[in-house]
Structure 1
Amino acid sequence: MDNHNLNVRKLTLWQVIIVGIAYMTPMTVFDTFGIVSDVTSGRVPLAYIFALVAMLLTAFSYARLSQQTERPGSAYTYTAESCGTAAGFFVGWCSLLDYILLPLINALLAGIYLNALMPAIPYAVWVFIAAGLVTLVNCFRIHILANLSLLFVFVPLIMLVIFIYLVIHGISSNGYEHVLTLTPLFNGDSSIVPLITGASILCFSFLGFDAVTTLSHETHNPKKTIPRAVMLTTLIGGVIFISASWFIQLYFPDNSRFKDPEAALPEIALYVGGALFQAVFLVGQIMNTAASGLASHASAARLIHIMGRDGIFHKGIFGAFNHKLGTPLYSVLTIGLISMTAMFLDLSTVVNLISFGALIAFTAVNFSVFMKFYVQDKQRAGFKYFALNLCLPFLSVLSIVAMWVNLESSALHFGGAWLALGIVLFIYKKLRKQSIVLSNA
């Protein structure tokens, strides 16, 4: 291990968790509430519980594999080491679609929110400013990003606490029995399929546990810290999502009060706290988007850097590390340029692309646990190893299959096209490598 890696390894457990929580965007519960409430017939908290259970199973697979290596790279690295470099390439390529589009979405959302607050400044200008500032922060050492993420996560969480207080205050005026109820979980509807559909939408709110595994080289004692961060990020994110959705569901048992259920956040804030609270809440949402933008940008840049070091992308550019700044500078700048294309795109188009890469990564990591421990290490004797190395990965894959079934056809089409491009790149690199070998023979 080189001295450069030792010099930049500064992140503590809680700094890594903060980056993961920031990546999750806790306030996204308000953006998706109207959609999932309609799908689940007013049982959003229960859908979040379903999603949390499914994600904890997969997070456990990530945690186990992160104990086996200090190399970052998330699903890409774990699959390459367990199933071979070819499998690792395709998983990394599909995951890359997810990683590079999340910073773009945050730039897009920041542009929408800021343009709503100050419409005199064009949307495209706000996207350029938001993407530019996030890129600038990511050019410097990771501990700066971690500290900023703490601020940008803390303020929205304070807003969330105030929101919960206002909900309790509003509902308790008719008696506390309306607050102390299990109606958000059990409202008389016992159907399961809508809950699975809702959970498949909400599972992508938990992507922060995947992102923290890309920070191994910048984390203190990664074989111990990263597995803990993976599980704690998932659990803390789940508690935040379930708590917030519980009180939103208490106040809005159904979608009848929403003019636009697919963009219910402004209406939720207005009904609960009035116009002033709505404005303040929107500022908190912008900070939440900034936190997610910083974290997702950092993770995407590091995945490109790792794939560059492995020769998948240009090693001299993407595999380079700036020792002075302590960051993979060219990879950071590349993600910044991609994020700025948000000014030409719409949200629905980009969102449809993200789920494909995430599901590929989740499926591959669970299969990698089976390959690593059950097949390669032959840990099969006894119920413990049978359960850990075969049953749990199988249950995880089953939960992900339910999400695949509910994936939109547009995501499959775009994802399939991206995968086809990856196949072309893989064949090109193989042929190029063979030609170099033959020319040197």
Structure 2
Amino acid sequence: MENTTLKRSLGLWAIVMLGLGYMTPTIVFDTFGIVSKETNGVVPLAYLAALVVMLFTAISYGKMVQVFPSAGSAYTYTRETMSPHLGFIVGWAALLDYILLPMVNALIIRIYMVSVFPNVPAWIWVVGYVAAVTAINAWSMGKTSSLNSLLVIFEVVLIAAFIVLAFLQLSKGMGQGTIFTTEPIFHSNVHLGAILTGATVVCFSFIGFDAVTMYAEEAIDSKIMPKAIMLTVFIGGAIFFICSYFAQALFPDISGFKVTDDTLPEIGLFVGGTIFKLIFLSGAFAATVASGLASHASVSRLLYVMGRNGVLPKKTFGYVHPKFRTPVFNVVLVGVVSLLAIAPSLELISSFINFGALIAFTFVNLSVIAHFVFHLKKYKTGKDIFSYLVMPILGAGLTGILWYNLQADALMGGIVWIVIGVVYMIFQTRFFTIKIADLNIDDAERTSSL
């Protein structure tokens, strides 16, 4: 049982599909009202700004996943290149966004189903959805991947249908009344601060490219991981930009929406009528389930690596089921946390997700510098300086700009989460008398080695 490992069963496109599923392409319609309000009607520009930041960070992820082809992502990279203590804090911060994203998916499912069946208690949808996703993830990663791919293909087809209908409505005079317009990208009321604020809201949509690194130990060949990362961020970014362009052209302002916290149902209604609204909701439902499957799988892998390393209780978090070859206990735990989606709002949870994500992004960029410049001394040529110093500094700096524009609630909640992590680390290391690297050794082994 101790030697049970994760199963290598994922090819390039299976991993890309998991990344896209995690990113939930239809989330652009869910958060459209929130971001349009924040940016004064230039949602595509917010996505473009976020994409630029993510590209620099994605390149850093691509470098680090080749050096450390194991699950754990930013936690592993920081732990191995800087400090086990700092790695724990980064992993703890990343847990905040990884463990909350499955809750976001459950929350969105709740919103969708309540909009169609307003008389059914909301908690029923949350419990049913969470139970199904948890069971599939516990059963098999291969089954999770296959179902995720089917759901992603379905949602892409419906996004294409939306674009066709948007063409027709714009040609009939709806919104801007023209297919080709610069208004969704630039107009007289555009302000840089508003764009960056919007970018901090939408950056959580890009977390899928980061999450794919969690599948490094389940990839058929770990060498495909950098390509999978870049394909995920480029394809996802293109979908976000194109969809937000047409949505903004159709709805220059949000005054016509009754509910701005999740505008997807009304966008479907206004663009294609009641029937398309229901079809569009089914696609969004599929997208959210796909994201739920992928995000649930990712966070359970991060918990597994932290458990395997001993920074979380190893017997529970480091356990892999001998038959299913999945971290079953972690999968169930994430399911329990996701049940909290019965109550909170989408905007509040997404802001907390961004706190953890931006910490992870910042330290992945810094890990590149620590490993290649300080450890391997790769700073003797112009190419090395550009690749291993300039690029990650730009990535960390651009991420810092998004940091500056985080909501106050997200900063305060994130700081409280970090403080809890520090207190836990002090307790685990018995006030730093035990090295974090030795936490995966039990007390008997530690005593015999003294």
What is the CA distance between 1:354 and its match in structure 2? 1.3
Comparing 417-426 with 232-241, which one deviates more in the overlay?
Answer: 417-426
**Residues 77 and 87, structure 2, Cα contact 8 Å, conserved in 1:** yes
Q: Which has the higher helix share?
A: 1
Indicate the residue corresponding to 1:83 in structure 2.
82
Comparing 19-28 with 121-130, which one deviates more in the overlay?
Answer: 121-130
C-alpha distance in structure 1 between counterparts of 2:217 and 2:171, whole Å: 50
Change in CA separation of 1:439 and 1:251 when aligned onto 2, cut-off 3 Å: same
**Residues 204 and 350, structure 2, Cα contact 8 Å, conserved in 1:** no
Indicate the residue corresponding to 2:204 in structure 1.
204
* Aligned partner of residue 255 in structure 1, secondary structure: coil
* Aligned partner of residue 252 in structure 2, secondary structure: coil
* Aligned partner of residue 237 in structure 2, secondary structure: helix
Comparing 201-210 with 349-358, which one deviates more in the overlay?
Answer: 349-358
C-alpha distance in structure 1 between counterparts of 2:131 and 2:181, whole Å: 46
C-alpha distance in structure 1 between counterparts of 2:43 and 2:292, whole Å: 25
**Residues 200 and 402, structure 1, Cα contact 8 Å, conserved in 2:** no
Indicate the residue corresponding to 2:374 in structure 1.
375
Change in CA separation of 1:334 and 1:256 when aligned onto 2, cut-off 3 Å: closer
Indicate the residue corresponding to 2:148 in structure 1.
149
- Deviations along 1:231-252, one digit per CA (max 9) or x if unpaired, are 1100000010011011112212
Indicate the residue corresponding to 2:440 in structure 1.
none
Comparing 408-417 with 105-114, which one deviates more in the overlay?
Answer: 105-114
Comparing 238-247 with 36-45, which one deviates more in the overlay?
Answer: 36-45
Indicate the residue corresponding to 1:22 in structure 2.
21
Please state if 1:402 is matched with 2:401. Answer: yes
C-alpha distance in structure 1 between counterparts of 2:130 and 2:98, whole Å: 15
C-alpha distance in structure 2 between counterparts of 1:252 and 1:120, whole Å: 30
Indicate the residue corresponding to 1:219 in structure 2.
219
- Within-5 A mapping of 1:30-429: 30-173=29-172, 178-189=178-189, 191-222=191-222, 224-429=223-428
* Aligned partner of residue 11 in structure 1, secondary structure: coil
C-alpha distance in structure 1 between counterparts of 2:432 and 2:321, whole Å: 28
Comparing 291-300 with 332-341, which one deviates more in the overlay?
Answer: 332-341
Change in CA separation of 1:369 and 1:261 when aligned onto 2, cut-off 3 Å: same
**Residues 426 and 432, structure 2, Cα contact 8 Å, conserved in 1:** no
What is the CA distance between 1:288 and its match in structure 2? 1.2
C-alpha distance in structure 2 between counterparts of 1:45 and 1:83, whole Å: 37
What is the CA distance between 1:346 and its match in structure 2? 4.2
What is the CA distance between 1:432 and its match in structure 2? 7.8
C-alpha distance in structure 2 between counterparts of 1:420 and 1:54, whole Å: 27
**Residues 50 and 196, structure 1, Cα contact 8 Å, conserved in 2:** yes
- Deviations along 1:342-363, one digit per CA (max 9) or x if unpaired, are 2254444433321111111011
What is the CA distance between 1:255 and its match in structure 2? 2.4
* Aligned partner of residue 42 in structure 1, secondary structure: coil
* Aligned partner of residue 320 in structure 2, secondary structure: coil
TM-score normalised according to structure 2 size: 0.92
C-alpha distance in structure 2 between counterparts of 1:113 and 1:311, whole Å: 40
Comparing 378-387 with 252-261, which one deviates more in the overlay?
Answer: 252-261
C-alpha distance in structure 2 between counterparts of 1:422 and 1:177, whole Å: 52
* Aligned partner of residue 262 in structure 1, secondary structure: coil
Comparing 54-63 with 118-127, which one deviates more in the overlay?
Answer: 118-127
Unaligned runs of 5+ in 2: 435-442
* Aligned partner of residue 67 in structure 1, secondary structure: helix
C-alpha distance in structure 2 between counterparts of 1:294 and 1:375, whole Å: 38
**Residues 308 and 318, structure 2, Cα contact 8 Å, conserved in 1:** yes
C-alpha distance in structure 1 between counterparts of 2:291 and 2:314, whole Å: 28
**Residues 51 and 200, structure 1, Cα contact 8 Å, conserved in 2:** yes
C-alpha distance in structure 2 between counterparts of 1:392 and 1:37, whole Å: 31
**Residues 139 and 325, structure 1, Cα contact 8 Å, conserved in 2:** yes
What is the CA distance between 1:384 and its match in structure 2? 0.9
**Residues 201 and 351, structure 2, Cα contact 8 Å, conserved in 1:** no
The AA in structure 1 aligned to 2:136 is V
What is the CA distance between 1:329 and its match in structure 2? 1.0
% identical aligned pairs: 42
Change in CA separation of 1:177 and 1:271 when aligned onto 2, cut-off 3 Å: closer
- Deviations along 1:102-135, one digit per CA (max 9) or x if unpaired, are 1112112212322332334321121111000000
C-alpha distance in structure 2 between counterparts of 1:422 and 1:362, whole Å: 18
**Residues 201 and 350, structure 2, Cα contact 8 Å, conserved in 1:** no
What is the CA distance between 1:265 and its match in structure 2? 1.9
C-alpha distance in structure 2 between counterparts of 1:158 and 1:317, whole Å: 41
